Chain A
Amino acid sequence: VSDDLRRLAMGVPVPWDELRERRVLGKVEAELASRRVARKRRPWIIAGAAVLAAAVAVLAVLVVDPASTPVDDAIAIADAPATSPVVAIPDESALTLPDGSQAQMHTGARVDVDVQTDELVRLVQYAGVVRYEVTPNRERRFVVHADDVQVRVIGTVFTVALDEHVVRVAVERGKVEVAESDRVVQLGAGDALEIDRAESIDEPIVLEDPVVELEPAKPVASARELEERADAARVAGRSGEAASALTELVKRYPKDPRAYSAYFTLGKVERSRGRHTAAAMAFTACHQRAPAGPLAEDARAEAAVAWLTAGQTDRAAAAAQAYLDRYASGAHRARMQRILDKAR
């Protein structure tokens, strides 16, 4: 009898699939990282309370000796000198890292330490104006995130300013490379860059219309019902129906927590039925929604692969490069490097 009961109990399938497994691993790693940061966090890092609400569509990469790249005409380089208000900051709140690097924060600025190890210092700037003076150290990467803005530093002095309308990057020493997708601008000492956020150079993600139309005259489904509908359709192999449900979920409930994983699932579903451009857009939307989220790394990698499969080599290369910039030792680095090699 006992064996029979055991067989029965074990016979019930465990609702655990690859997506769930990866999702939970992402949460575990995020939780462990946040606990590590919390243990290392210092009291001086918070100033002000404003939070950057919208994503900024620019990637700013600061390098000492960047490769020569074409200048993008969509970005206007301001002639503001290094002594412009962008750079001239009252020394209201200065913080010093163990290696001597400093960040001077203007009123209302908010900076958080995300990672602080011998190999990597990662700060997250949420708002305001901050002037960074980074001690050169090739053994340690120094990165400032401002939502989608990423400033990588080897050793220089620069300022990042965020407000509702513009992003400004001003350089006092060293060189700055501001890049988005395959378009890049270099800034030298004394240059400043101002980008109107309303005229973001990052193309908005527009999901393709689903192939399968939703049944008319049905009452509006909740996010949960749509998620369940999509799951059931996927299990039954009805990928078109799954795509419709997921698309409706992310469009109708963009603020629901389910929308985040729905974008990722939508990417997989679209890929499974050969709609690689739609898949790339969904994966991109996923990591743009939460750049530090548990699925972000996978989503960035999947987007690069999907762009390549869709025949959009430039976008694939840009996505692969963005992945490598963000996850230098990530799980998909070999695949991303292969994409870059193919694109060259």
Chain B
Amino acid sequence: VLSVRQAPLREVAPSDELLVERIRGGSDDAFRQLYFRYARYIAGVVVRMMGDDVELEDVVQDTFVRAAERIDTLRSPAHVRPWLVTIAVRYARERLGRRRRRGLLRQEASHHFPTMSDPRERARADDLYAALDQLPEKYRIPWFLARVEGEKLEDVAIACGISLATVKRRILEAQTRLDRRLEVRS
């Protein structure tokens, strides 16, 4: 006698692929689900990249507006997260570029960027961000995406618009410079 045991039904969050498919079909609810799934993550990427939250909301907003309008161009719906990161990085870089031209980099950071509760950790984090501030963007952003955000190197290359080999070189260079600066500070 054959018996079939059915697994209990349970509610499963829709996959990224399914959400993308629904968004392409015009579902506003699916878009909101995607937003609530990744907005905090994207905000983290942006705030760590930019060093403050002065333009955080603008970048997250631009990112999801762009994503909604260009969702049909996403080739692999399973990769929607790195795709969002790519868009966010582009907007963050644009704004960093504008700031640099105006000499405003991290001008208001101290007012907005929250600190950690442990004073020792806070001092080390401050050192790290101070060292990162001195790194040119072309080194800092690939390093952040790969070493902090844990993005795959291929995705970092796409996000930064550079080759995989260049990504590797820049991350290595960023790490060397960071280690040197942090060593001096300690």
Contact = CB atoms under 8 A, between A and B. Distances in A.
Contacts of B112: 15
Interface string B144-181: 10011010000000000000000000000001001100
Nearest to B148: A9
A24 B47 contact: no
**Contact residues on B (Cβ < 8 Å of other chain), bracket:** 35 or more
A1 B179 CA distance: 8
Contacts of A28: 35, 61, 64-65, 68
Contact of A11 (B125, B144, B147): B125
**Contact residues on A (Cβ < 8 Å of other chain), bracket:** 20 to 34
Contact of B125 (A12, A15, A35): A12
B111 to A, nearest CB: 7
B179 to A, nearest CB: 6
Contacts of B105: none
Given A5-B178, A14-B47, A20 B65 contact: no
Interface in A1-43: 1-2, 5-6, 8-16, 20-21, 23-25, 27-29, 31-32, 35
Nearest to A10: B148
A208 interface: no
A32 to B, nearest CB: 5
A233 to B, nearest CB: 15
A6 B147 contact: yes
Interface stretch (B5-13, B37-45, B76-84, B94-102): B37-45
Given A2-B175, A12-B116, A32-B69, A21 B147 contact: no
Nearest to B29: A331
A325 interface: no
Contact of A12 (B39, B48, B178): B48
Interface of A: 1-2, 5-6, 8-16, 20-21, 23-25, 27-29, 31-32, 35, 228
In the A-B complex, list the 9 residue pairs whose CB atoms are closest, starting with the nearest.
Answer: A16-B43, A14-B44, A9-B148, A15-B53, A28-B64, A27-B61, A31-B65, A13-B114, A8-B125
